[in-house]
C-alpha cells in the first residue's frame, strides 16, 4: 500500500482511502464465520481476497458461510433469497478492472453487523465491528470521511502486520431477517459517466454502463 497518503485521506471519486485505490495488490485473510448462536468451527474456511468496500466485504462473509454449509439453515436462506444478487455482484466486479471497481454500487448486504476478532499469540485481541454502508445512488459518492464501522480499519490492521502467512479471524455475523431486508428484486441502477482516460497521445472512452441488481 502507498505510504504517500494517510488512511484518513479519502479518494474524491471512489470514496475509499487513497492508499487502497493506489495499490496493485490486496492481502488475503481467512475467517471462521458463524452466527451468534453457533459455536466456532475453527475451520477458517472463508477466504477474503478482494477489498472493494464495506458492503462487498459483508456480502463475502455471508456467501462464504453459505458455501461452507456449517449452518444449513443459513445456506438455505442465502440460496433462496440472496444468491441471485450475489452472483450479479460477482459478475460486475469481475468485468471491471483497475480503480473503477471501487465505484461499483454494492447493494446493502443481508447482515446487520459483523464482529471480526484477531487473536494474537500473546497480548489482547483486536476487535473490529463492521456495519453496512449506505452507498450513494450516484457514481461519485463525495465522501469526505470514513465511518468508524467501515472495513478499512480492518484492512489497515492486516497490512500493518505484514504477516508471512494468511491472518486468521473469528467472525460473528448478525444476520438480517429476509422479511426485513431489501428485496432481491430491488433494482439498483447506476450510470458510469462517460470518461476519457489519457495515456500519452492515446485516449480510450469508458462507455456508459448500467448496473441492475435483482430481477
| DSSP notation for 100-149 | GGGGSPPPPPSEEEEEEEE--SSSPPEEEEE------SSS-----S--TT
Assigned C-alpha cell, 98: 483497475
Is 158 inside a domain boundary? Answer: yes
Q: pTM of the predicted model, to two decimals?
A: 0.77
Going by DSSP bridges, is the β-strand pair 167-175/29-35 parallel, antiparallel, or unpaired?
A: parallel
SS (H, E, C) 4-55: CCCCCCECCCCCCEHHHHHCCCCCCEEEEEEECCCCCCCCCCEEECCCCCHH
Assigned C-alpha cell, 197: 482516460
In contact, 29 and 46? CB cutoff 8 Å: no
Is 10 inside a domain boundary? Answer: no
- What is the extent of the structural domain holding 91? 26-175
Is 105 inside a domain boundary? Answer: yes
Going by DSSP bridges, is the β-strand pair 46-48/111-118 parallel, antiparallel, or unpaired?
A: unpaired
Is 2 inside a domain boundary? Answer: no
Q: What is the DSSP letter of 210?
A: B
pLDDT of residue 186: 43
| Residue in this structure with the C-alpha cell 436462506, named with its chain if needed | 77
Per the structure, how many domains does the chain have?
1
Q: What is the mean pLDDT of the chain?
A: 78
Beta-carbon contacts of 94 under 8 Å, excluding residues fewer than 6 positions away, are none
Is 193 inside a domain boundary? Answer: no
What does the pLDDT look like over 202-213, one tens digit per residue?
333 322 233 334
% of the chain beyond a pLDDT of 70: 74
Three-state DSSP state, 208: coil
The separation between the first and the last C-alpha atoms of the chain, rounded to the nearest angstrom, is: 38
Beta bridge partners of 129: 115
What does the pLDDT look like over 123-180, one tens digit per residue?
899 999 999 988 654 455 555 566 778 899 999 999 988 888 899 999 999 998 774 4
Closest CA to 213 of 54, 59, 19: 59
Is 99 inside a domain boundary? Answer: yes
Is 11 inside a domain boundary? Answer: no
Is 13 inside a domain boundary? Answer: no
Amino acid at each position: 500500500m502507498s505510504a504517500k497518503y494517510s488512511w484518513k485521506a479519502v479518494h474524491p471519486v471512489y470514496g475509499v482511502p487513497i492508499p487502497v485505490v493506489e495499490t496493485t495488490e490486496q492481502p488475503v485473510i481467512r475467517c471462521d464465520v458463524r452466527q451468534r448462536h453457533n459455536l466456532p468451527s475453527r475451520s477458517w474456511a472463508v477466504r477474503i481476497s478482494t477489498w472493494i468496500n464495506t458492503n462487498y466485504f459483508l456480502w463475502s462473509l455471508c456467501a462464504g458461510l453459505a458455501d461452507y454449509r456449517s449452518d444449513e439453515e443459513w445456506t438455505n436462506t442465502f440460496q433462496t433469497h440472496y444468491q441471485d444478487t450475489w452472483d450479479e455482484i460477482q459478475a460486475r466486479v469481475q468485468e471491471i478492472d483497475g480503480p473503477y471497481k471501487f465505484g461499483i454500487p454494492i447493494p446493502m448486504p443481508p447482515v446487520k453487523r459483523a464482529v471480526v476478532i484477531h487473536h494474537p499469540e500473546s497480548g489482547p485481541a483486536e476487535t473490529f465491528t463492521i456495519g453496512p454502508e449506505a452507498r450513494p445512488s450516484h457514481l461519485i459518492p463525495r465522501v469526505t470521511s470514513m465511518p468508524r464501522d467501515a472495513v478499512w480499519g480492518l484492512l489497515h490492521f492486516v497490512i500493518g502486520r505484514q504477516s508471512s502467512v494468511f491472518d486468521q479471524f473469528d467472525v460473528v455475523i448478525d444476520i438480517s431477517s429476509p422479511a426485513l431486508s431489501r428485496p432481491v428484486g430491488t433494482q439498483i441502477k447506476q450510470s458510469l459517466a462517460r470518461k476519457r482516460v489519457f495515456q500519452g497521445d492515446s485516449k480510450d472512452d469508458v462507455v456508459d454502463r448500467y448496473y441492475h441488481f435483482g430481477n
